[in-house]
A and B are shown apart, each in its own frame.
Chain A
Amino acid sequence: MSEIAEQPSAAPIDASPALVIEAGRSEKNYWSDLWRYRELMGFLAWRDIKVRYKQAALGVAWALFQPLIQTALLTFVFGKLAKMPDGGLPYFLLVLSGNLAWQLFAGAFNGASGSLVGNSHLISKVYFPRMVVPLSAVAVSLVDFGVTFALAVPIIAAFGLWPGWQLILLPVFVGLTLLIAIGAGLWITALTVRFRDFRFITPFLVQIGLFVTPVGFRTDNLPNWRDLLALNPLSAAVDGMRWCLLGGRTEIYWPGMVTAVAVTLALVFSGVWYFRKTERQFADII
């Protein structure tokens, strides 16, 4: 084995610290790396939005049709057929406000769940903190939410229910909804890399979720079921967002809120833990 003559060292090594790659070494700079790649997160979200509406004649209108029709349908089923108590509020608005939260969750959760496998060509060819991918999918759903929200507020106002100061707290509940979606989404997307079975489980979970979350009904009139529903953290998020949008005309169930925050934190921390644990093998098994 021949050793090579010395080469003039042309590029001075700058002061940036050396990067060490070792088996099982979790990157120290993971979170600062994630921050450094925030632009990529934005670009991926922008790509997804752009591509979605690229050849759709109706464009962004699609972001409105689906929630509106679903709202009308749920109003009919729960309000007219099942005659659930409305507490003196227009049933359509109850469902609309609840559905706004639900759509945000469903969009973020669906997007995050399929994101890694959907971007497998990137995962196997480029390095970046993998969490960028599900987070960018969540960002996409936030844009959709902005569009539906902009439509929902005038509708609510048209019914004569002006939102009050409670609207200021909306970001809190949007944040709660997104955290639930991120926690659940991190679990599912990491599991899907290994077991593609989870691709079939996700739509099923979302379908069930719509009925075990108070989207089509309000919980303050169901005292017997409240505590059971509270185990689903989305109940609190939906209730909270409804409270904000309808100007405090519904009630927030505080014990339920506390449970929801606890469950959400558990979901997010465990999701991040599982994602980070499996992340290093993604490129090998995806």
Chain B
Amino acid sequence: MGLPAIEVSDLSKRYVIEHESRHDNLRDTLHHTARKLWRRFRWGTGFQREEFWALKDLSFTVQPGEVVGIIGRNGAGKSTLLKILSRITEPTAGKITLRGRVASLLEVGTGFHPDLTGRENIYLNGAILGMRRAEIRRKFDEIVAFAEVEKFLDTPVKRYSSGMYVRLAFAVAAHLEPEILILDEVLAVGDAQFQNKCLGKIQDVARGQGRTVLFVSHNMAAVQRLCSRGIYLERGRMLHRGNVADVIDHYLATGSARDRDMNLRMTRSCSWLRPVKVDLLVASESRRSVKTGEALEIRLAYECTEPSRMPDGITVSFILYAAGQKVANFWSRAGHAAPLPIASSGTVSCIIPNWPFRSLPFTLEVHLAYRGDTLVEVPEALEFDSNDSDLFGTGVVPHHSEGIVLLRHSWRATGA
């Protein structure tokens, strides 16, 4: 075997988070700002800083022609890794060697301008992704055909439907011809049919044309379909790597173990009511992936130092996002007539008897409210995947492009 296409050794990336004390009036704010500026200019440092290692001592190699899936939960360091590989940000330590022309696609439609037409955006976006004008001109018709937007080429993209917009954006990127392609979660957008088409295109690029691909996704089905190898990242470290199916199994199995010491990140918090853990259970067992048709329990464990402050009980919202789209709100006021009583510690569970969704990545947002005031807000309380099952017992389910839910139903035929 020749030289690897990607060689990563002891890669680390540190971010510094600065804690600023709160200021309630303008004078304090100005005073603090002045002191901060002074300290920065004088010593190059601000106030208290907390270090955070997004990646720590990561090493791996990728051979030419390999398609590698990088999986891990939010905050595992996947995006940071891709940003460093794409040269957008610099590593704190370590070394990377890339052999071949690199193109990275961290977002679909980077640099699209809403006021420009489809045609103009193809050129602009192509140039931003590193294509030459002549190259774009050569592939122009192919891009337009792939995106299926012929009729709207001279319409500003702000008038496009979101589906058309995404199709056009992906089409430009799909026609890059790098030797190493870096893809971040680009399939989390668009309708199922187009996602499928994109996956097919990436597959062509990877298999047919023998390119090296690094692919990040929360969609395990996509990872499994595209990749031959997997790398599982967790809090900036590599936990597992190898055959993609093994890595995915490992990822699904270790999910709940990690959550025990997880700190829920809150965008709104309250000093006397604290969510401790949000868990997903199937048949009383903690899980990170569910199947269509299963009965689920979403369980929130909390601690409350002053239950007496909330004699009326609380309302809980579990808001469900599928691939970034809000799809449902399990709201205790709607699903349960009375507010839920609160104790010094306890759990609140929402039971969903028949999970309808097919293969999609989900996130759950949690809100806790008292008398209409939201006290606690946890945007990414839980992440899990859903997978297709043989719901109807026939061994057949419709294709993915035929919808995102499977609903139990029956058939009847009449006739003479």
Chain B positions within 8 Å of A9 at CB level: 1-2, 63-65
Are the C-beta atoms of A281 and B246 separated by less than 8 Å?
no
Q: How far is the CA of A100 from the CA of B123 in the complex (A)?
A: 32
Q: B347 within 8 Å of A by Cβ?
A: no
A51 vs chain B, min Cβ distance (A): 5
Question: Contacting A4 at CB < 8 Å: which of B97, B179, B242?
Answer: B242
Contacts A2-B243, A13-B3, A50-B116; is A127 near B88 (CB within 8 Å)?
A: yes
Q: How far is the CA of A51 from the CA of B94 in the complex (A)?
A: 42
Q: How far is the CA of A21 from the CA of B84 in the complex (A)?
A: 8
Chain B positions within 8 Å of A281 at CB level: 89-90
Q: B218 within 8 Å of A by Cβ?
A: no
Q: B95 — nearest CB in chain A belongs to which residue?
A: A22
Q: How far is the CA of A13 from the CA of B62 in the complex (A)?
A: 13
SS class, residues of chain A in contact with chain B: loop
Q: A39 within 8 Å of B by Cβ?
A: yes
Q: How many residues of chain A get a CB closer than 8 Å to chain B's CBs?
A: 43
Q: B212 — nearest CB in chain A belongs to which residue?
A: A11
Chain A positions within 8 Å of B128 at CB level: 40, 43, 122, 126, 128
Are the C-beta atoms of A22 and B130 separated by less than 8 Å?
no
Are the C-beta atoms of A8 and B94 separated by less than 8 Å?
no
Per-position binary interface string of chain A over residues 43-56, scored 1 when its CB falls under 8 Å from any chain B CB and 0 otherwise: 10001001100110
Chain B positions within 8 Å of A21 at CB level: 84-85, 87, 90-91, 95-98
Q: B127 — nearest CB in chain A belongs to which residue?
A: A43
Q: How many residues of chain B get a CB closer than 8 Å to chain A's CBs?
A: 60
Are the C-beta atoms of B88 and A16 separated by less than 8 Å?
no
Q: Tell which of B88, B92, B133, B246 has the most Cβ of chain A within 10 Å.
A: B88
Q: Report the stretch among B107-115, B255-263, B392-400 that lies at the interface.
A: B107-115
Chain A positions within 8 Å of B212 at CB level: 11
Q: A125 within 8 Å of B by Cβ?
A: yes
Question: Contacting A7 at CB < 8 Å: which of B65, B100, B246?
Answer: B65
SS class, residues of chain B in contact with chain A: loop
Chain A positions within 8 Å of B91 at CB level: 21-23
Q: B86 within 8 Å of A by Cβ?
A: yes
Chain B positions within 8 Å of A124 at CB level: 88
Per-position binary interface string of chain A over residues 1-22, scored 1 when its CB falls under 8 Å from any chain B CB and 0 otherwise: 1111011111111101011111
B311 vs chain A, min Cβ distance (A): 46
Are the C-beta atoms of A13 and B63 separated by less than 8 Å?
no
Q: How far is the CA of A280 from the CA of B179 in the complex (A)?
A: 25
Are the C-beta atoms of A22 and B96 separated by less than 8 Å?
yes
Q: How far is the CA of A54 from the CA of B96 in the complex (A)?
A: 44
Q: B291 within 8 Å of A by Cβ?
A: no
Question: Contacting A11 at CB < 8 Å: which of B113, B124, B211?
Answer: B211
Q: How far is the CA of A127 from the CA of B110 in the complex (A)?
A: 11
Are the C-beta atoms of A127 and B86 separated by less than 8 Å?
yes
Per-position binary interface string of chain B over residues 221-243, scored 1 when its CB falls under 8 Å from any chain A CB and 0 otherwise: 00000001100000000001111
Q: A277 within 8 Å of B by Cβ?
A: no
Per-position binary interface string of chain B over residues 114-132, scored 1 when its CB falls under 8 Å from any chain A CB and 0 otherwise: 0110001001100111101
Are the C-beta atoms of B101 and A2 separated by less than 8 Å?
no
B415 vs chain A, min Cβ distance (A): 56
A81 vs chain B, min Cβ distance (A): 39
Chain B positions within 8 Å of A4 at CB level: 228-229, 241-243
Chain A positions within 8 Å of B100 at CB level: 11, 13-14, 16
Are the C-beta atoms of A122 and B179 separated by less than 8 Å?
no
Question: Contacting B115 at CB < 8 Å: which of A12, A55, A280?
Answer: A55
Q: How far is the CA of A173 from the CA of B66 in the complex (A)?
A: 55
Q: B68 — nearest CB in chain A belongs to which residue?
A: A4
Chain A positions within 8 Å of B211 at CB level: 11
Q: B15 within 8 Å of A by Cβ?
A: yes
Q: B83 within 8 Å of A by Cβ?
A: yes
A-B contacts, 20 listed (Cβ < 8 Å): A2-B243, A4-B228, A4-B243, A7-B65, A7-B229, A11-B65, A11-B211, A12-B64, A14-B179, A20-B97, A23-B90, A23-B94, A24-B90, A43-B123, A125-B88, A125-B110, A127-B104, A128-B128, A281-B90, A283-B88
Contacts A11-B212, A37-B130 aside, 13 further interface pairs with beta carbons under 8 A come to: A1-B241, A1-B242, A3-B242, A7-B66, A9-B65, A11-B209, A13-B99, A18-B97, A19-B102, A21-B90, A51-B115, A51-B116, A121-B110
Chain B interface residues (CB < 8 Å from chain A): 1-3, 5, 15, 37, 63-66, 83-102, 104, 106-107, 110-111, 113, 115-116, 120, 123-124, 127-130, 132-133, 156, 179, 209-212, 228-229, 240-243, 246
Q: Which 3 A-B pairs have the closest CB atoms?
A: A10-B210, A10-B65, A2-B242
